[in-house]
Structure 1
Amino acid sequence: MNSVLPWLLFLQLVTMAAAVEPLRPGFYSQICPPAELIVRDVMKRALIREPRSVASVMRLQFHDCFVNGCDGSVLLDDTPDMLGEKLALSNINSLRSFEVVDEVKEALEVACPGIVSCADILVLAARDAVALTGGPDWEVRLGRKDSLTASQEDSDNIMPSPRANATSLINLFSQFNLSIKDLVALSGSHSIGEARCFSIMFRLYNQSGPGKPDPAIEPRFREKLDQLCPLGGDENVTGPLDATPTVFDNRYFRDLAVGKGFLNSDQTLFTSPRTRPYVRLFSKDRDEFFKAFVEGMLKMGDLQIEQPREIRTNCRVANSRTVDVLMES
């Protein structure tokens, strides 16, 4: 991971913050009153269709905000002259449910054409994914606009691997002014959802030497993971990130405390003495976790950078590109 690039991006976020229009709760209350209700309604339907999908949508905010600020860039498809973020190494095997965002955008364009940004949709949908699965609800600050471009290179240089250790995660989060407590609380987003065997094959079979697993895995849990993800098996098979993958609660932290974290980047939060105290705290106090999670989500959602922006009519395509495609057809 390039350690310089995230720091330079954070400096841009800090020095240009005053030039970006301030975000605020209720941004759409006058210009598109039903906006937040529409997002939540679509997320409710998505949850009924496939519970995993709302967790996947929530994670899109993380992958969006860390790369050049919360600007919807992660949603852009590749074009002949732009390699976007969807196929970045950290995204290609983990990001999904883009069609849910499309459904939200289509409903909003019917109700309030050209008003609600794709970047704001991600922030609203992430909040709703948490609230609809039993987690906290909160007011989000809105008013973002969408980027005109995306960068696969920036995403590759910034986003962490499932193999990441606590030190690298702490360093990454600190470069975006997110504390160790923020890191651990936001990792609690893995309270819901699943991950692919691809993400843990190295951990299961080579992490502590050829053919040797991560010694931090609880032995009986390791046996279950071996059955789910056998060596040479289908790496697209998925497993739950904690024991209650459809309920947003603090079980994720309780699992880490007994060696049952699915990803290395999860379990490392307990094996590291710098992050372990927060894992213990959140495993014992659900309300403290919820409070810290909301604070972290708000801080992450404030990451912005000044650049040319717009309100996309299609979250997958910049407006100028949409016009070009229509003219060609």
Structure 2
Amino acid sequence: MSFNVAALSMLHMHAGGHTLGFSHCSSFQNRIHSFNATLDVDPTMQLSFAARLRSVCPAHNKVKNAGSPLDSTNFIFDNAYYKLLLQGKSIFSSDQALLTTPKTKALVSKFASSQKAFEKAFVGSMIKMSSLTGGQEIRLDCRVVR
């Protein structure tokens, strides 16, 4: 994965919701309850973080709007998401998977240690994204398909 592709992948997730977002329990329930045949919680998730999520999202959750912010500074566009990811405090397994290859792990580490590097990569990725063509839809509101 090239720097810009990895940055774009992470930024798509991050800018699309992770730095300012919220996730309902149903989106990460599989990581905190009955992860697999032998483990209840995803072993890549930090245990106290998983316990906090389990308290908000019990196994048979009936609260429609229950969930969690995607990072600790959910009203600020910053690199906190990357710092939490390195600590095993990411809500989605797709985010945690960014640490499974040396190249993407290095990018996560770089963005976690430098707000400036994160912002620079974000700008470059958004410029590249704006040049996409070929029938791909760029949405102003991600919940609405035109």
Q: Specify the TM-score bucket, using the shorter chain as the normaliser.
A: 0.7 to 0.9
Segments of structure 2 that go 5 or more residues without pairing to the other structure are: 137-143
Conserved 8 A contact 1:181-1:278: yes
Instruction: State the match for 1:274 in structure 2.
Output: 103
Q: For residue 192 of structure 1, what is the amino acid of its counterpart?
A: L
Distance 1:222 1:303, change over 3 A: same
Match of 1:195 among 17, 20, 23: 23
Distance 1:212 1:274, change over 3 A: farther
Aligned: 1:255 with 2:84: yes
The structure whose Rg is larger is: 1
Instruction: State the match for 2:34 in structure 1.
Output: 206
Q: CA deviation at 1:299?
A: 1.5
CA–CA distance in structure 1, aligned partners of residues 59 and 38 of structure 2: 12
Q: Which 4+ residue blocks in structure 1 deviate beyond 3 angstroms?
A: none
Q: CA deviation at 1:267?
A: 1.8
The equivalences for 1:9-158 within 5 A come to none
Conserved 8 A contact 2:25-2:66: yes
Match of 1:186 among 7, 12, 34: 12
Instruction: State the match for 1:222 in structure 2.
Output: 50
Q: State the SS of the aligned residue for 1:239.
A: strand
- For residues 118-171 of structure 1, give each alpha carbon's deviation from its aligned partner in whole angstroms, at most 9, with x where no partner exists: xxxxxxxxxxxxxxxxxxxxxxxxxxxxxxxxxxxxxxxxxxxxxxxxxxxx6x
TM-score using structure 1 length: 0.38
TM-score using structure 2 length: 0.80
Q: CA deviation at 1:306?
A: 5.5
Segments of structure 1 that go 5 or more residues without pairing to the other structure are: 1-169, 308-315, 319-329
Q: For residue 193 of structure 1, what is the amino acid of its counterpart?
A: G
Conserved 8 A contact 1:204-1:213: yes
- For residues 262-307 of structure 1, give each alpha carbon's deviation from its aligned partner in whole angstroms, at most 9, with x where no partner exists: 1111222124433110000000000110110111122122222269
Q: CA deviation at 1:210?
A: 5.5
CA–CA distance in structure 2, aligned partners of residues 317 and 201 of structure 1: 27
Q: CA deviation at 1:179?
A: 1.7
Distance 1:306 1:238, change over 3 A: closer
Size of the alignment, in residue pairs? Answer: 135
Q: State the SS of the aligned residue for 2:23.
A: strand
- Aligned-residue Cα RMSD (Å) equals 2.5
